[in-house]
Structure 1
C-alpha cells in the first residue's frame, strides 16, 4: 500500500470512529442488554430494593443510602447524566423525624419531686421552658359557642399566668362523631387555654384511662409556646384529694349534668421545666436526566418520578397498617415497583434518545411516606425552571395489577391527556381506567399545586399495603411491564409534540380530609402541610377570587395571627378558621420575607 493509500485509510478510520462516537455519545456502559422493558429486569430491581437487607428503606438510614447508591449506579450504567445542581445526582434535605426528651425535664407539686415517664410526661406539642405557679381546674377545657352546643369552662375563673388543669376527652369519649369531638383534642384544649391567658396546661385522665400518653412525634405541630404535661392517675388523684376532690366524682358530675365544673387550687405551687429536642434526619432525592439534542426544545422537561422510601420497621406513627408489629416493611409494591419503573424507563429512553425532542428528568423521591416531602422540596428548590417542566409523570404502586385493570390519575390536568391515553392504550392488553383528579396522596400532587400537568400510574390498593406482607413474591411483573410500555409511549409522544400540554384545574389542590370540624368559611389558600415555619405557610392560592387573594395574601406568606389570635401551625389555623362566619371581616398578620404585614380579610 502506498503512503497516500495508508493516509486515506487512516482518515477513513478516523471518520468512522468519530461518527460512531457521535452517534453513541449518549449511551453508557450499561447499555449492553435488553433495549426493551422486561419482566425479569423489573423483578431484579424490585428484589434488590425490597430485600430485607434494605430494612424497609426508611429515610436517613444506612439502608436508604444503599438504595440511593444503587439508583445512581444504575443511572451511570445507562449513561444518564446527573440531574442535580453542581453536576450531582443527589439533592439533600432535612426532615424532622421525631422528638426526644432533653436533660431538663422536671416537675414538682409542692415539695414533692415527680419522676419523668412514671409520674408525668410532656406532650409532643409542649413548649420548652420553666413555669412555677398555682393551678385552676377548668373541667374539660371547653369554650364552645355553637348553635347546637354552648359550653364554657372558663366562665368566672381567672387563669391568667397560671396552670390550667383539664380532663381529657369529653362526656362522649367513645363517639367520634359527637358534638364534642372536634373540641376534645388535646391540642385544641391547649389552644383554648392559651387564648385565655394560661401559662401552662396539665392534663388528667378519665377513670377509663390507665397509662400516660406516650411521647411520640406527630407531624405538623409546632411547639405550643407553653408547657403541656400529662399527669399520671396517681399524681392527679393525690393533687385533687389535697383540695377535697376526686377524678371519679368530677367526671361523673360533668358527664351527668353536661355542664362546667371548675375550682381554684391557690395553695399548691406546681413547678415544671420542659425540654423537648427535635430529631432531624438527612434525606435525598436522586436525579438523572437525558438532554435532548433538539436545540429548540431541549430546555423543556418531562419529569418522570417515583418515591423509593418506605416505612422501615413500621411501628406507631409510621403509617403502618399494623402499627403494633415491629417488622421489616419491604414495600415491594409501594414503591419498589415504581422505582423499578423509572429505572426501566430511563434505560429504554436513553437507548431511544433520538426519539426525544424535549428532555427527560428522572427523580427518585425520598420521604414520600412522611408527607410527599421529597417532591415538595424539589418543587421549592427545582434543578430546572418549573416553568420549563411540561408534564410530571408519577409511578407509585404499579406492581399488583388486578383483572388486567390499572388506573392513571391526573387525566383532567390537560385536555391532551384523555385523547392521548385512549389512543396509546388501545392496543394494550390491559384496561387503563382514567381518573381526572390532579391531587392525590403521592408525589405528583406537589407538581399539580404548581400548575404543572400530571399523570399518575397506579395498579391499585391491596390488603398488603403498608404491612410487612408487601413482598416481591406478590409482584405481577407482566402487569407492571404493560403499564411501563404505555408510559414510555406517553413520554415520547409528549416529548415530540409540537405544543406542550396545556394545564387545566382538575379538582382541589389540597386533601379534603385535613379539615377538622365544620368550617363555615374558607380562605382560598393551599396550606403547607410539611412546613417547619412557626405559623401557617401558604403554598399557593387555590381560589383566585377568594378572601385570601382579595386581601393580598401571596404564596410564601406565613400567617401569624387571625382575628387577633395566634396561629402556630396547620392545626391552629384550622381551629381559627372554624371560628369565623360568612360576612365577617378579620385582621390577619402575615410574615412576608421577614416583614410583618397587617391585612384585612373578608369572608
Structure 2
C-alpha cells in the first residue's frame, strides 16, 4: 500500500510541477491542468480513505504551497478517521435443533445489528408491523408475546408490486428492528420472501448504519423453512397467504434459537487540507474568511455507494462534484495571494475530505478548528460550480448575514442570473459552519443529469463559466475582507430536513438534527431550533442532546425519525435531553 501511495504521490507532484504562474488571472489552461489530474482515471473517483484520496490531498496541498500560502502546523493536512465499511467478526453464530448455520452462506448480521448474543424461542410475526393510522390497520404482534423471543419477519410488505403502497413507510428493515427492540425481543430475524427477492441474496455489510439495541440477522429462505419445520408451514406459503388475504399471520414456532452477532467497523484515515493567506491589516487580520470545497467523491460507485447508477462499477470522476469547486478554490487562492491589493482579513482555504459520507470532514474541522470559530466572519462553500448554464448561479445561505444578498447582488451586477436561498443548512459543508453561528454562502451552478454518475467527467465542464464564477467568488471575498465592519449574523434555518426516503413522520419538532451521530455517542445532537416551533416552545436549545422520546432511547437520526413516526399531531410528549451533563425532561406539544 505504501508503495502505491508513493508512486501516485510522485504522479501528483509531477502534475503539480507542470503548472506554474505569476499571473493572478484565472485561465482555462490552469483550471484544465487541475481538472485533468483530479478527475482522471488514475485517481479512481477519490473515494475517502483510499490511496487515490491521499494523492488528491497531496496534490491540493502542493498547489497551496505553490500559491505561497501557509501550510505549516496547525495548518496543512488535518487527519481524521472515518468508518468505511463493516465486516463480520468471529463471533457470529446461529444454532437450533443441532443445526449450526454458516455465516455468509445461510445468514449474515444486518448492517444495523447490535453486536450481542441472544437465546429464546423463535416467534413468527408476519411482516413485523404494528400499524394504527387513519389509512391502515395491521398488527403482527397482537396475538404473540415478543418478550425475550426471537422475532422472525418477512422483509417488505404485502404489496411489493405496488409503486405507492400505504405499507411503504412502515417497510424499512431498520424500523422493524426498532419496533422489535422496543418490545424487548431477544432479536430480529429477517427473511426475504419470493416477492421481495426471488434470488434470496443476503444483505451486504458495505453500508455504514447506526446500530439498533438488539441483534438483527438476515437468513435465507431455506434456513427459515428449517426453523419453521415444526409448524408445518413454509415461507412461500405464509407469504402467499398474507399477500392474498391481507391479514397478519403470527405464531409460535416451538423452536429454540441460540444466536450471536458481531460486526466490526473498518476505519480508514483521510484528510482536510488547510492553508492560510494571512491578512495585511494589523487588526482586521485577526478575523477570517473561510473558502472551502470538498475534494472526495464516490470512487468506483456500485450498489453500496450513493451512485445513481447502482448497477455500474466504474470510475465516478466527480469532475463537477466536486473537482470544480476544488480547482476554483486553488485558483482563487493564487489570485488573492498574487494580488497587489491583498486582503485585509485573513483567508483560510480548506479542501474537505469525506463530504460524500455525510459532511464528516467539515464537521471534524469545526469541532477541531485551527483558529477559533468565533473569529470566522464568513464561510464560502463551493460545491458543483463547473456547469454554468444561462448564467444561472445559486447562492444559498444569503439570509445568514444581514448584508450578504446586497453584497453579492452588487458585485455580480448583471453578469449572472442569481437565485438566492436564505437558509443556512443544506447538503454540503457550509452546514457545519452555520451550526456554529457563522454566516455562510453556498455557491453552486446546480445539479444536472450527470450528478453522481460515471458521466460527470472533464468533458462536461464549462471552463468559461467556471472562470466567471471563480472571479465572482474572489471579488466577493475581497470585498468582505476589506470591510471595516463585520457581517451581521442571523439565523436562517429550514423548516424541515429531507430524510432521503419516504417517511411516515407526520409531525415535526422543528429542529435540525446532527446527522453525524455514531454508535460511540449517546443521543442525537440538535444543530438548530426553529423559532416558534414545538421544540422551541418546549424549551429545547441548540446544542442539546436528545436521548429519548417518550422514554424510548434515541441514539441516531434514524432512531429520531422512527420515534417521530409513532407520534401524532396534537400529542403532548416528553423529550429527554442532555444539556451540559444535566438530563432534562421537556414537555412538548406537537
With the length of structure 2 as denominator, give the TM-score of the two structures.
0.91
Equivalent in the alignment of 2:35: 46
Q: CA 1:543–1:402 in structure 2 vs 1: closer, same or farther (change >3 Å)?
A: closer
Does structure 2 retain, via aligned residues, the 8 Å contact 1:125–1:187? yes
Does structure 2 retain, via aligned residues, the 8 Å contact 1:439–1:511? no
Does structure 1 retain, via aligned residues, the 8 Å contact 2:23–2:338? no
- Aligned to 1:574, which of 558, 561, 564? 561
> Are 1:74 and 2:60 an aligned pair?
no
Deviation of the 1:510 alpha carbon:
5.7
Equivalent in the alignment of 2:382: 395
Matches within 5 A, 1:404-483: 404-426=391-413, 428=415, 430-483=416-469
Q: CA 1:200–1:553 in structure 2 vs 1: closer, same or farther (change >3 Å)?
A: same
SS at match of 1:369: coil
Aligned-partner Cα distance in 2 for 1:246–1:110:
17
> Are 1:504 and 2:490 an aligned pair?
yes
Aligned-partner Cα distance in 1 for 2:216–2:202:
12
Aligned-partner Cα distance in 1 for 2:589–2:22:
63
Unpaired segments ≥5 residues, structure 1: 1-29
Equivalent in the alignment of 2:150: 163
Equivalent in the alignment of 1:560: 547
> Are 1:139 and 2:126 an aligned pair?
yes
Aligned-partner Cα distance in 2 for 1:528–1:463:
29
> Are 1:186 and 2:173 an aligned pair?
yes
Deviation of the 1:349 alpha carbon:
0.6
Deviation of the 1:515 alpha carbon:
7.6
Aligned-partner Cα distance in 2 for 1:593–1:176:
46
RMSD: 2.3
> Over residues 26-46 of structure 1, what are the superposed CA-to-partner deviations in whole Å (9 max), with x where a residue is unaligned?
xxxx98521211111111111
Deviation of the 1:587 alpha carbon:
3.2
Does structure 2 retain, via aligned residues, the 8 Å contact 1:222–1:534? no
Matches within 5 A, 1:266-305: 266=254, 268-305=255-292
Aligned-partner Cα distance in 1 for 2:499–2:459:
33
SS at match of 2:285: coil
Deviation of the 1:482 alpha carbon:
0.5
Matches within 5 A, 1:222-301: 222-266=210-254, 268-301=255-288
Larger radius of gyration between Structure 1 and Structure 2: 1
With the length of structure 1 as denominator, give the TM-score of the two structures.
0.89
> Over residues 418-448 of structure 1, what are the superposed CA-to-partner deviations in whole Å (9 max), with x where a residue is unaligned?
32223222263x5444444433322122223
Does structure 2 retain, via aligned residues, the 8 Å contact 1:307–1:339? yes
Matches within 5 A, 1:515-534: 517-532=503-518, 533-534=520-521
Does structure 1 retain, via aligned residues, the 8 Å contact 2:526–2:545? no
Aligned-partner Cα distance in 2 for 1:546–1:440:
19
Aligned-partner Cα distance in 1 for 2:359–2:313:
23
Does structure 1 retain, via aligned residues, the 8 Å contact 2:120–2:256? yes
Deviation of the 1:576 alpha carbon:
1.0
Deviation of the 1:553 alpha carbon:
3.7
Deviation of the 1:592 alpha carbon:
4.3
SS at match of 2:450: coil
Q: CA 1:549–1:408 in structure 2 vs 1: closer, same or farther (change >3 Å)?
A: closer
Equivalent in the alignment of 1:64: 53
Deviation of the 1:516 alpha carbon:
5.2
Equivalent in the alignment of 2:13: none
Which segment is superposed worse, 104-113 or 244-253? 244-253
> Over residues 274-330 of structure 1, what are the superposed CA-to-partner deviations in whole Å (9 max), with x where a residue is unaligned?
111011111211111111121221111111111111111111222112122221212
SS at match of 1:91: strand
Equivalent in the alignment of 2:362: 375
Unpaired segments ≥5 residues, structure 2: 1-18
Deviation of the 1:563 alpha carbon:
0.9
SS at match of 2:433: helix
Matches within 5 A, 1:99-114: 99-114=86-101
Q: CA 1:517–1:336 in structure 2 vs 1: closer, same or farther (change >3 Å)?
A: closer
> Over residues 491-522 of structure 1, what are the superposed CA-to-partner deviations in whole Å (9 max), with x where a residue is unaligned?
11111122222233445076334585343432
Matches within 5 A, 1:301-380: 301-352=288-339, 354-380=341-367
Equivalent in the alignment of 2:481: 495
